[in-house]
Every structure is written in structure tokens, then in C-alpha cells.
Structure 1
Amino acid sequence: MNLLDLLDSIEYSVLQGSSEIEVNHIAYDSRKVEKGDLFVCITGFQTDGHGYAKKAVENGAIAILCEKAIEGIPTDITIIQTDNTRKAIAMISSNFYHHPSEEMNVIGVTGTNGKTTTTYLMKSILDKIGHKVGVIGTIENRIGEKVIPTERTTPESLELQALLRQMKEEEVTDVVMEVSSHSLDLHRVDGIRYRVGIFTNLTQDHLDYHKTMENYKKAKSLLFQRCEGSVINVDDPAGEYMVEQSKGKVLTFGIENKADLQAEEIHISADGVHFVLEYNTKRYPVMIHTPGRFSIYNALGAIGASLLLGIDMDTIIKGLAENSGVSGRFQRVKSKRGYHAIVDYAHTPDGLENILNTAKEFVEGRVITVFGCGGDRDRTKRPIMGEIAGNLSDYCVITSDNPRTEDPVAILADVEQGVKKTGCDYVKFVDRREAICHAVEYAKEGDIVIIAGKGHETYQIFPDKTIHFDDVEEVRKAFGEDAI
């Protein structure tokens, strides 16, 4: 593709060479550069791509896009300068792949909790009307029924645009994607046309990156400034702000506050939720298979987005009823012993509080909670989560999540401070497998064992290695022959 065409809609200056050259591909990793490529220098949090420009040229790059001047590059290599290469690579990638998002309905879901479940509720509804659906998210990327492994909630812009083009070529009509605050702030999703955006909620998370909740909120709001239609949870304190930031048509939803989509007559059991939806003066009975008030909010968001896409309400409700749940999201593992475990990704204060409150609504015995906090992440939430678990559990088992480069013993001590405040009985196990086994052995008939923090993840990250670890597998092993 001609470099001049790639640079369309980007402000830049030519420091060296010509912009009217043919480029084979784009790369931001010098190790992946091939002959005839454009190399984009991105200033990262650990490394600066400008330092690898010479290596990129050695590997065959014929053009470099940078933010600052680079010395020692041969004069036959084109050098283009722009203010922000993260913003630029997003637009360049969209140009390179011929704007695939404009050829499909793209639905973006953002919020601290509920993104993954909401995307799969949307998929169930779109499946119901016979559409081929692409999913981009935390658990996996998916084209129809084909699963593509994923490394982060929202891919880098280059990979994201490539994936969108692949989806279009495989006849996907609708893409439902989780949109992280990082991806919005770091411009990964610039250049994507969103038909609809959904706001689930905003609670404490990612403060290691955003520093303040205000910054976090502003990052999330960037999605709604670029959507043709927005669906906003107005029970959340940040909901009104998201409505104000929305540029297109807005549908609001809620349980407590007056909204366009209102849930009433709620009944929660271990098997799911029944509620009555009021919309446009009409009332509709709705059933979903995942328990909890949080599940109602996820369903309302999916209903609102589907309405903005022109899907009729009866089809929407049937699609929701056919969703059997999402891996690692309030996932039940039953036992013949008369108690069961619930594996959930809850790794934020709000997420943990939601699943524990839900469990307490139908537990016959005790709530036993196995949980920890990740290393190299927001440390301020650790005692907060400890206090929440202590207040809402009958017994806590504090353990490791993904320690990463931190000392797991120190992480457990941070969590322990919060549990101690509550007077709840607790134990500590650095080894997560031992923690799960202990909780299962401690449980009696009528109890629920909550295993929180990792959900769908099939790995555990340590300073020197990453091992296979799956909470669902581990609890089944702990149940042994009694697992159902």
C-alpha cells in the first residue's frame, strides 16, 4: 500500500525520504519487521521503540514513523514524524486493512465488571437471529464458533484491525468486543466505528495505571464519545457522566433509578434470575441462567444494545434465555456431598462484593471464600477486598492469585489486614491448590465455596515461571469422585 494513503487523516512531517513509496506491511516490533515494511516507534512503559529503529532497518524496514528525531538512519530510508505514534498506528492500521469496522456492526462493552458476560449475552441474541458473530474479549476471541486465543482484553490496534478484517472476510456481520480503559486511553481502538456502546459500571480497579478514579472514569467515557448509540447503567454513580459524554442516541437502564429499561419484580435463585422488564409502557418477563443482581444489569445492557440494532423484544428475550452462562463467571461445580463451589473472575472490590451477596441470597449453610489479589497491580484494593470478604463470608481462605514479581506472602499480608478488621475466621495458604483443597475439606452440606479472582484463567504467574492452573479443574480434583 502506498505510504501516502496509509498516512491519510494523520498530521505528520517528512524528515527524510519520500512518503510516496509502497509499503508491504506495518510493524511496531523490530523483530517482526520484514523487507519493505513500515516500522512504527512506540514509546512503551518499559521500552522505547525509537531505540530499535536501526534494528528495524537492518531487518528490512524502508520507512520509519517516529515521535522524535532518530540519528544514524541511512538517507534512503523514509522517516516520518508525528506527535503521537500510538494514535497514528491505530489510524494507519485501519487504513491498511481498509476500515473493516465500517462493514460490520461493532458493539463495544466497557465497565469495570460485567464486560465478558454482556458480550456473550449479546452473542446469544445475535445468534438467535441467525447472524454470524465475532467476539473480542478477556476469555477468547471468536469468529462464529471458531475460537482464537487472546492475550489481553483489547488487542493492540494493528492486531485488532487485522482481526476485524479477518472477521469480515469470514462473513461476520456483528462484532461484540470488550473495550478496556487501557485500550481507550492508549488509542488502541481509535479508527473503529462503533454502532453501539454499553456501560456496565465503574468501581475501583486499574489505579496502578490510571492513578485516580476520575482519570479512570474519563478513560471509560471515551467510548461513548464515538458511538452512534449508547446504553448506560444509570444506577451506577458514573452513569450520568457517561450519558453526558454520549454523542448519539442514548438508552438508560437500571433497577433503582428511573430508566428507559427498568427491571422489577426480581426473583433470584441458585438457578438464575427472573424479572419483569418495563420498556415503553410495556412489561416483559425475562429469565437468565446466571444468579445475581449484577446479572440483571448485564442483561439490561444487552437488551438495550439489541434494541438499538433493531432487534425485536421477543427475540431478545429468547436469546437471553438460551445463554447457559460464561466460563469462569459464577460457574458452578456441584458435588454429591450436598454442597458446591462457584468459580468466578471477581478480582475487584465490587466484583467480590457482588458474588458474595448473590451467594448469600440462596445459600443454606455457610459461605466459604477462597481469594487473593494479583501482584504488580493496585495494592490499595487488597485490604478493601479482605474486609469485604470478611464481612460477607463465614470463613475466608486467603491465598495467591497471580503473584507476578511480588512476594506472595507480602500480598497475603496486605489482604489479611482487611479480613482482621471483621473478626471473620480465616486461614492463609500461599499455595492456591492447597487453599482450594482446604476449603473443600472444611465445607459441609448446605455450604457454598466461592473461589474468586481467576475465573476462566488457566495459568498462574510467578516471578520466574508461568504454570498451568485452572480453578475449575482444581475444585473438581478436590471433590474427587463426588464431583458432578
Structure 2
Amino acid sequence: MLALTELLKDWPCLVKGGSVRVEVKGITERSDEVQPGYMFVAREGKKSDGLGFIDEAIERGAVCIVTDRMTDLKQKDQVAYVFVADCLQFLSHACARFEGNPSEDLTVIAVTGTNGKTTVTHFIDQLLRSMGVKSAVIGTLGLVIDGINHNLPLPAMTTLPPVYLHRTLRYCRDLGITHIVMEASSLGLSQLRLDHCKIDLGLFLNLGNDHYAEHGSRLKYKKAKERLAHLASEVIVNGDDDFCASIIRKTDKPVMSFGQNLENDYTIELLKSDQSLTEMIVQHEGFSTFFELPVSGVHNALNAVAAISALEHLGFGLQEISKHIKVLKLPEGRLQEIRGANGVHVYIDYAHTPDALQAVLKSLALICRGRILTVFGCGGDRDPGKRPEMGEIAAFYSSIVWITSDNPRSEDPQSIIHDILSGIGEDTTRYLIEPDREKAIKQALSEARRGDFVLIAGKGHEKTQTFAKETIHFSDYEIAAKCFEEMDEEKTVSE
């Protein structure tokens, strides 16, 4: 509990009614989460307005209502009404203070980028833990400590809202964790979720063609990403990416860069990359260090160097880091491999943007000795402009493409597929249309022969498929594994 006066201390506001000495037992922006003694922040959202839920919050026991609009409210004497300039900013401040500002006791590394956030955060965490540091990851896969997902009641968001973020940071601090590695999404940054979280190091990976519709424009998307440079004490950027490189010119914070171009502070020289191994040299300050990565692909080499540069920046030497590099393991749903008894290799990957899909397919093309068969779709209610581009990329690298559904949400799956088809030329490849994702996966695996690679892209670790009126359990990995089992059983029976 914390007195309302402590939450409002040093924060410009106007209080009407109630008592500022009341004890606040929790903070929420959802009326259905209100319990007796809670503060309810009635902010305006995209789908609903918190002002319409004030009565419900009070009935459930709210002792304080916060809003950023001076509207005529039917105030109740026992409830304090707090008027602030911006609910999002206040919510971030209040949640951090309510939990005791736990980020101040932690070393926090935040990673942003259209692609690669999950992989890089887990690479950093794996290296830290290998070198004896108690660390945790907060991101797309939830809260992961010691490589194990802690099933806390958290929303399925890449970057947690302040109510959950600071509560989770306190939970980690109380467990003795000293380092937090988190994903910083553009939506999380634009909604000020990290504004009162002390960030020691911010990593910028790339800027691709995604999330424009959610932000309103490419410019707003870039502005959202740039916020991390203002929040972090120090910054590391991918110097090969134009947007990331522009951060160097725009910030007065200490900045380092990594990439393949020689002008970067950490320069990568790739020596070899096959199905399970990448050899490279990282040059920094005139010294060269050899790294043997247990992962494949140029994009994963860049992800690894982003993690390596972060560790070096935290005080670990490159030679020391190189001794621990063997611990790196791709997180769930990132080029997650299933090998069938028939010599077919299946890869499950979260690639749901043009850049990510091209990076994965390009990596597979370098090591595949057979055909590449691709199963993918595009999400509904999300950036329709990327659909034809992803269709073109899939067709370029694949012998056969199955175009299917990927969380169609409120859109007609056939309409999404039509958008994808507009990017596929009639003479480029053979493509098949199967809106039922499970059927598409089974068709691809049935078609595959020894030496072929099957890429199932777009959903990765996700365990659900979202339609207009329902959300069902669905896992690409489970479907593929079950299909292989059934094929093996059929083969055994026939023999």
C-alpha cells in the first residue's frame, strides 16, 4: 500500500473530493481488475474510453479516479478525483513509484527493432547467465528466468504496460536478479510504457516495413522507435541500417555501432555459415576475436553481434565472451527445427514481415540441397501493404508456396490471400491456396522429399489462431510434429 499523497508527490495535478491521505492498494486502467482500495486510471483507449467505466470501478471499491479530461463527473464524496495532463505519463510514473521504483536497483537493457528483438534479448540473457550473472528476459515469450518461462498472470504483449512491468521488475529484484533484458516495441514506446523505467542500455536493430498502420504513418513509427534513445543512458545501434545509423546523429548519448561495414565500432567478418554453425571475426578497437556460433544465418550472426556488443559494453571482454558463445540457442519459434524420419527438415519461424521472411529464406537457401517449400500467410487488420511484398519474397526463394491464414482477425482470409497473390508473378513459382492453415502444413509435409526444407512462417511460438468471432488453440510446431508422427505410423503399418 502507498498513500495517495506519495503517488501524487511532485506530480502536477488537481484533486477534488475524497482524501489525499487514503491508502492506495493497487493501480489499474481496467475497471474489471479494480479491487477495494484501488486507483482507477480512466484513460481513453482505441476501442473504449475509461470514463465510461468509472461507476463500475467505484462499485468495485476504487478510492481514487484519475483522468486527463476536465469533464462533468458525478463525484462521490468518498472518492478522490485526480485530474492530470496526460493519463499515460501519470500511469507510468504512479506504477513505478507504487512498486518502489525497482528498475533503479537493476541493470536494464532494452532492445528495439522491427525484427530480431526476441532473439537478441535471449542471446544477451544466455551469455549473461553463462558468465554467472543473474538475469531475466521480459518480452514476447513472457517472463523467462534461467531459460524457464515463469507463468505470471501477464498480458500477451511484447512490452508490458506499466501496471505489469514494474510489478514484474520488483518480482525479479526480490528473486535476486540483477540484470533485465527486455523487448521495447514501437507501440510500447509510443504509449509511454517505459517512460519511468531506468534503462541503462538501448539497442537498435533495424527498421522494416511493419506496424505503419498501427502508428498512422512511417514517420510516427520511426518517432516511436527513437524514443528509446531518449530513455536510455547509452545506446548501441546497427550501423548498417539507415534508420539506426541516424540515431547516432540525433542523440547526445554515448553511442556505439555494430555491423558488416568497416566504419562500425564492432565490425563483423563472416567466414563460414552452414546448417548449424557460423564462424566469424569481430573487430573492435584494433583487435580481432574469433567466434564460432552454434546458429546459422547472416541475420543471426548480426543478432549475435548485437548481443556481444551489449555484453562488452557492460564490462565483459570479447575474449571472455567468445568462450561462452557456445551456449547460444535460438528461442522458441525462431528457426525452430523438426527433423522427420524421411530426411525432411521443417523450420518454424516467427517471420511475419518482409525483411524477416527474406532473411530466413535467404539463410535456408544457402544451406538447402533440396527444395524449399514455404507455408505462410499475413495477419488481418495489420499493414496490408506488406502482403504483396511477402508474396514476392516467398515466391523468389521457394519451389512451392502454400498461401494460407495467419490470424485473419476481422478480415476475410480470402481477401488477405488475394493481396498476397498480387505480389506473385504467374511464372515465378508454383503456388497453392489453402486458407486452412493446418491443411496447408500437412500438404507441404506430404509433398516434401528427402533433403527438402519446409518453412512454416509467421506464427512461430504462438499457440493461438485468431478469427473474427473466436480464438482457437493452434501451434505450427504441434501440427508439424503430429503430422510427422502420423506419417511414421503409416510407414510402419505399410511395412
Measured against the shorter chain, the TM-score band is over 0.9
Q: Which residue of 2 aligns with 1:138?
A: 140
Question: Paired residue for 2:178, among 153, 173, 188?
Answer: 173
Q: How far does residue 338 in structure 1 lie from its aligned partner after superposition?
A: 2.3
Give the 3 Å change call, closer, same or farther, for CA 9–201 of structure 1 in structure 2: farther
Q: How far does residue 424 in structure 1 lie from its aligned partner after superposition?
A: 1.4
Identity of aligned residues (%): 35
Q: Which residue of 2 aligns with 1:456?
A: 461
The CA distance in 2 between the partners of 1:132 and 1:363, in whole Å, is: 38
Residues 1:366 and 2:374 are matched in the alignment: no
The CA distance in 2 between the partners of 1:462 and 1:11, in whole Å, is: 43
Amino acid at match of 2:38: D
Deviations 1:274-328 (A, max 9, x none): 1111111111111222211111111111111111211122332233321222111
The CA distance in 2 between the partners of 1:343 and 1:215, in whole Å, is: 31
C-alpha contact 1:197 1:305 (8 A) present in aligned 2: no
Amino acid at match of 1:343: I
Residues 1:31 and 2:36 are matched in the alignment: no
Residues 1:351 and 2:352 are matched in the alignment: no
Amino acid at match of 2:109: I
Q: Which residue of 2 aligns with 1:90?
A: 92
Matches within 5 A, 1:107-186: 107-149=109-151, 150=154, 151-186=156-191
The CA distance in 2 between the partners of 1:481 and 1:143, in whole Å, is: 35
Amino acid at match of 2:57: A
Deviates more, 1:121-130 or 1:146-155: 146-155
C-alpha contact 1:390 1:422 (8 A) present in aligned 2: no
SS in 2 for 1:311: coil
Q: Which residue of 1 aligns with 2:442?
A: 437
Give the 3 Å change call, closer, same or farther, for CA 144–322 of structure 1 in structure 2: closer
Deviates more, 1:9-18 or 1:468-477: 9-18
Deviates more, 1:145-154 or 1:187-196: 145-154
The CA distance in 1 between the partners of 2:485 and 2:108, in whole Å, is: 43
Residues 1:380 and 2:385 are matched in the alignment: yes
Q: Which residue of 1 aligns with 2:74?
A: 72
Q: How far does residue 241 in structure 1 lie from its aligned partner after superposition?
A: 1.7
The CA distance in 2 between the partners of 1:390 and 1:275, in whole Å, is: 30
Q: Which residue of 2 aligns with 1:2?
A: 3
Q: How far does residue 397 in structure 1 lie from its aligned partner after superposition?
A: 0.6
C-alpha contact 2:129 2:146 (8 A) present in aligned 1: no
Amino acid at match of 2:34: V
C-alpha contact 2:138 2:183 (8 A) present in aligned 1: yes
Q: Which residue of 2 aligns with 1:40?
A: 41
SS in 2 for 1:446: coil
The CA distance in 2 between the partners of 1:29 and 1:277, in whole Å, is: 48
TM-score (norm 2): 0.94
The CA distance in 2 between the partners of 1:154 and 1:265, in whole Å, is: 32
C-alpha contact 2:17 2:75 (8 A) present in aligned 1: no
Amino acid at match of 2:58: V
Matches within 5 A, 1:262-277: 262-277=267-282
The CA distance in 2 between the partners of 1:333 and 1:246, in whole Å, is: 44
Q: Which blocks of at least 5 consecutive residues in structure 2 are unaligned?
A: 489-495
Q: How far does residue 146 in structure 1 lie from its aligned partner after superposition?
A: 4.4
When the two chains are superposed, the root-mean-square deviation of aligned CA atoms in Å is 1.6
Q: How far does residue 390 in structure 1 lie from its aligned partner after superposition?
A: 1.1
Amino acid at match of 1:13: L
Residues 1:427 and 2:432 are matched in the alignment: yes
SS in 1 for 2:292: strand
TM-score (norm 1): 0.96
Q: Which residue of 2 aligns with 1:333?
A: 338
Deviates more, 1:7-16 or 1:452-461: 7-16
The CA distance in 2 between the partners of 1:422 and 1:373, in whole Å, is: 22
Q: How far does residue 70 in structure 1 lie from its aligned partner after superposition?
A: 4.3
What is the number of equivalent residue pairs in this alignment?
483
Deviations 1:119-168 (A, max 9, x none): 11101111012122111011221233542345110111111110000110
The CA distance in 1 between the partners of 2:228 and 2:147, in whole Å, is: 27
Deviates more, 1:284-293 or 1:418-427: 418-427
SS in 2 for 1:347: coil
Q: How far does residue 10 in structure 1 lie from its aligned partner after superposition?
A: 2.6
Q: Which residue of 1 aligns with 2:493?
A: none
SS in 1 for 2:181: strand
Q: Which residue of 1 aligns with 2:16?
A: 15
SS in 1 for 2:82: strand
Amino acid at match of 2:288: R
Residues 1:106 and 2:111 are matched in the alignment: no
Q: Which residue of 2 aligns with 1:284?
A: 289
Q: Which residue of 2 aligns with 1:49?
A: 50
C-alpha contact 1:121 1:299 (8 A) present in aligned 2: yes
Give the 3 Å change call, closer, same or farther, for CA 418–9 of structure 1 in structure 2: farther
Give the 3 Å change call, closer, same or farther, for CA 429–261 of structure 1 in structure 2: same
Give the 3 Å change call, closer, same or farther, for CA 33–227 of structure 1 in structure 2: same
SS in 2 for 1:39: strand
SS in 2 for 1:338: coil
Q: Which blocks of at least 5 consecutive residues in structure 1 are unaligned?
A: none
SS in 2 for 1:342: strand
Question: Paired residue for 1:313, among 311, 318, 321?
Answer: 318
